[in-house]
Amino acid sequence: MESIKVSVVIPAYNRASYINQTVDSVLNQTFEDFELIVVDDGSTDGTYEKLLEYGDKISVLAHEGHTNKGQSASINLGLKQASGKYIAILDSDD
């Protein structure tokens, strides 16, 4: 039986107090055939730096110039990077 790959895309803006719980909840799943893409939307509260601490466990993206472009633009950026057969969008405070 072939594995089904899922791309999980998380748009994040100023979520330093939640982002570790959100990312860890995905990384701790028993399902292993997924990629995790987090798009930092120009955060100014340390969210981006917290994401970088995960190293190669996740893909961290940001808009050009590290600007804030909004949730839709962040999701779209993540979708461009996604390679999974299925896509899951997860809010950064879940």
- Alpha-carbon distance of 44 to 41, in angstroms, equals 9
Is this structure's pTM higher than 0.75?
Answer: yes
Tokens describing residue 26: 């995905």
37-64 in b/e form (b: 16+ CB < 10 A) is bbbbbbbeeebbebbeebeeebbbbbbe
Give pLDDT tens digits for 20-51: 999 999 999 999 999 999 999 999 999 999 99
- Alpha-carbon distance of 7 to 53, in angstroms, equals 20
Locate the domains of the chain by residue range. 6-89
Which of the four pLDDT bands, split at 50, 70 and 90, describes residue 3? Answer: low
Tokens 């120009």 sit on residue: 42
- 1 pLDDT more than 80: no
- Alpha-carbon distance of 51 to 38, in angstroms, equals 8
CATH architecture of 6-89: Alpha-Beta Complex (3.90)
- Residue 80, classed as helix, strand or coil, is helix
Give pLDDT tens digits for 5-19: 999 999 999 999 999
